[in-house]
Amino acid sequence: MRALVSLGSNLGDRGLQLRSAVARLAVLLVDLRISPVYVTSPVDFLAQDDFFNLAVSGESGAAPEDLLAAFLAIERGLGRERLLPKGPRLIDIDLIYFGDRVLRNPGLTLPHPSRLTRKFVLEPLASIEGSFRDPVSGIPIRELAAAFNDPAQQIRVLGPLDEA
């Protein structure tokens, strides 16, 4: 099944953090697609530095719960500490979609519940999986990203991951 994943970092060498996380994700996912890196303003907790964000997608035969557990292990392996909700972080890896699966479990909700309110999720995903349809609304990600309008969420393309 195709996993669509959002990554972000706003501490330390943000480009290095993203490259390290993507290298580890490449072990878990095949047919990997990687978006450009975007510079984005923080959301919710505003008193922090801008983020570098990107999206990846790839095929996985794992259960979504196992994939999420592997993502959390990657975060811990890269030094993430969860000190402040929505606060600064070395790396954040979120499973946004897992094919057309819709789940509401205590440890995992799919699609990710914040996906439609985050330009930094929609824009990078649209760049690599624009025709993918949100399984709840049926709307392609490309259209969701194009219709998104929150002037407080600033986003700009930085460039390819290897140049971040």
Query: What's the Cα-to-Cα distance from 126 to each of 34, 65, 130, 146, rounded to whole Å?
Result: 11, 24, 4, 9
Take residue 19 and report the two structure tokens written for it: 């490259």
Cβ-Cβ contacts under 8 Å for 20 (sequence gap 6 or more): 78, 91
CA distance linking residue 91 with residue 36, whole number of Å: 17
Yes or no: say if 142 and 131 are a contact pair by the CB < 8 Å rule.
yes
CA distance linking residue 21 with residue 29, whole number of Å: 12
pLDDT per residue as tens digits for the range 37-47: 999 999 888 88
pLDDT at 65 over 90: yes
Domains of the chain and CATH, by start:
2-163 (3.30.70.560)
Indicate the pTM of the whole model. Answer: 0.95
Residues facing residue 56 across a β-bridge: 5, 34
Q: Please, what is the average pLDDT of the chain? A: 95
Residue 125 parent element (H or E): helix 119-129
Among the listed residues 50, 10, 1, the one whose alpha carbon sits nearest the alpha carbon of residue 30: 1
pLDDT of residue 61: 97
CA distance linking residue 25 with residue 98, whole number of Å: 15
pLDDT of residue 44: 83
pLDDT per residue as tens digits for the range 77-119: 999 987 778 889 999 999 999 999 999 998 999 999 999 999 9
| pLDDT range class, residue 137, cuts 50, 70, 90 | very high
pLDDT of residue 157: 97
